[in-house]
Structure formats: C-alpha cells, structure tokens
Amino acid sequence: MSQDDTAAPRRVGSPCVSVCLLDGQDVCVGCFRTADEITDWVMLDDPGRRKVLELTRERMREAGVLFE
C-alpha cells in the first residue's frame, strides 16, 4: 500500500482570501460568506461546504463581480 492510499481525503477548502470585512448585510466583501457561514465553516461537512460555496457564487453574481 502506498502512502497516498492511506492519506485522508482533502476537505473542501475555505474560500477565504484574507480580506475580512463585513458589509451592511453581514457578508464578507472578500469571500462573500455571511458571518454565520464563516463561523460555522469548520463544523460543516463537505456537502455543507459546497452549499455555502454555491451561495457565495450567487452573491458574487448579484454583486457583479462574477460573470459566468
């Protein structure tokens, strides 16, 4: 068995970009997560983290900073 076979799977990574400032709606202007989503991140499983990432993408589109 190789070392790669025993390694734990990687978790969904944080979208934090080290620009931590909440706007008037309690949403971070850096990563577009709400304060609650930031606080809860470490406790979320991967499906929960993916759901938060979907919500951040929606917020980014609404803010005009993401074009897909």
Tens digit of pLDDT for each residue in 2-32? Answer: 555 677 788 999 999 999 999 999 999 999 9
pTM: 0.83
In a domain, 17, yes or no: no
| pLDDT reading at 65 higher than 80 | yes
Q: Which domain holds residue 56?
A: 36-68
pLDDT at 66: 86
In a domain, 56, yes or no: yes
pLDDT at 7: 78
Amino acid at 37: E
pLDDT > 70: what percent of the chain? 93
Q: b/e per residue, 8-19, with b = 16+ CB within 10 A?
A: eeeeeeebeeee
In a domain, 2, yes or no: no
pLDDT > 90: what percent of the chain? 81
Number of domains present in the structure of the chain: 1
In a domain, 60, yes or no: yes
